Amino acid sequence: MITNKSHSNNKNSTDFALSLLKGRIGQSVIETYLVASGYEIYPYGYENNYANITRFVKKDQSDVTTTKVRSMPDLLVCDRTNNERFLLQIKATNTRDESSYWIKKDNLDNYIKYWAEALLVVYFIRTGKIYCLKIADIKNPTEGLRPNSSENGFLLNLNDFHDFTEYFSHISSSQYTDMRRKIASVLTDFSPIVTRFNSTKTNYNSQTRLSLELSP
C-alpha cells in the first residue's frame, strides 16, 4: 500500500510538473510582449506560488477557498500610463486547428464563477497567434471531447476572441509582428535540441523541426 501510494503521488507530481512546463511556455511568451511594451508584470497564479501553497492545498480538497486558489489567473498586468490593471489566464497549445480551443469543464466553470473579469489568453505555439477574450464575455461554449481523447469539456469558438493588441494598446501592430517573428526564431532555434532528444527514444525523423508558420 505504501508503495502504490508513493507511486501515485509521484505520478501526480510529474503530471503537474509537465502541465506547469506547458503553461510556462505560453506565459513566458506573453510576458515578453508585455514587458517589451512597458507593462509591469506580476506572477499571480497558483502555479507561480506552488512551492508554498502546496503545503496547505491538497489535491482532494474542493472547498470554495481552495477551488478559487487553484483557479487563480496567471498574471497581474499593470499599465501605469492609463491606470489600468489586467488579470490574465494563459493557455498554450500546439494544436493545428485554430478555429476552437478545448478547455476542461471544471476549469471554465471556475474561471467564470470566480474570475470573470480576467482575460483568457490562448497562445498557439505553431503559428505564434494569440487570441484573447474577457472570461465574462464567453457565451454558449459548445460541449465536446478533447482532441484524441474521451475527456469531455468545452470547445471555445475562437472567432469570438479578439487580437491580443486590442486589449493592450501599447503594443503596436508593427511591434507585435516584429516580436512575433523574433519569438518564433527563438523557439525554432531550440527545436533541434528537442528533436535530437526525441530521436534517442523513438524513430522520429531527425530532420523534424517545430513548424512555426507565420502569416503577414
C-alpha cell at 194: 528537442
Q: Determine the pLDDT at residue 94.
A: 86
Q: Is residue 191 part of a domain?
A: no
CA distance 165 to 170: 8
- Over residues 181-200, mean pLDDT: 66
Q: Is residue 112 part of a domain?
A: yes
Q: Is residue 167 part of a domain?
A: yes
pLDDT in tens, 75-93: 999 999 999 999 999 999 9
Could you tell me which of 93, 72, 78 has the C-alpha nearest to residue 135? 72
Confidence of residue 54 (pLDDT cuts 50, 70, 90): low
The residue range of the domain holding 38 is 2-171
**Count of domains for the chain:** 1
Q: Is residue 13 part of a domain?
A: yes
The neighbouring-strand residues paired with 88 are 75, 119
Percentage of the chain modeled with pLDDT above 70: 69
CB 56, CB 49: distance < 8 Å: no
CA distance 54 to 66: 11
CATH number of the domain that residue 63 is part of: 3.40.1350.10
Give DSSP secondary structure letters for 29-88: HHHHHHHHTT-EEEE-STGGGHHHHTTT--TT--SHHHHHHHT--SEEEEETTTTEEEEE
CA distance 111 to 135: 7
Predicted model pTM: 0.76
Question: What one-character DSSP code corresponds to residue 147?
Answer: T
Q: Is residue 203 part of a domain?
A: no
Q: In Å, what is the CA distance from 60 to each residue of 18, 31, 56, 65?
A: 20, 32, 11, 13
DSSP H or E stretch at residue 101: strand 100-104
Q: Is residue 194 part of a domain?
A: no
Q: Is residue 134 part of a domain?
A: yes
Q: Is residue 6 part of a domain?
A: yes
- Over residues 65-75, mean pLDDT: 87
